[in-house]
Amino acid sequence: MRPLLVLPLLLLPAPALADCVVLLHGLARSDASLLVLQETLEFHGYRVVNEGYPSEDAPIADLVGYVGQAAARCGDERLHFVMAQRTVAIAEQIRERERAVIPA
């Protein structure tokens, strides 16, 4: 019986303190494809950056700049990325650039 009393509490939004999520839509998609996820994350207290980028028109190397700008909007907040499988290549390029700037 007690688990039934706790269950409604799990459905309430929990604040995500100083957490920001950058959503990266898939290639040949748009930011509208992630609106439901954006609203869900915001409901649970996350700040969300969901901006479109020219996923079909620009090479992956150029898309890194768009992602960097989106991440910069999070400021000093803890940063999370949610991305489609094909956009992982963008994240890998960012990681490589960061490694070149910040030696391990």
pTM: 0.66
Residue 42 token pair: 């915001």
| Residue range 57-80: mean pLDDT, rounded | 83
Q: What residue ranges do the domains of the chain occupy?
A: 18-101
Which residues on adjacent β-strands are paired with residue 25? none
| Residue range 36-61: mean pLDDT, rounded | 85
H helices present in 11-87, as ranges? 35-43, 60-72
Render the burial of 18-47: b for 16+ CB within 10 Å, e for the rest. ebbbbbbbebebeeeebeeebeebeeeebb
Reported confidence tier of residue 53, pLDDT bands at 50, 70, 90 = confident
Task: Name which of 34, 36, 7 is nearest 23 in CA terms.
Answer: 34
Q: Is the pLDDT of residue 97 over 80?
A: no
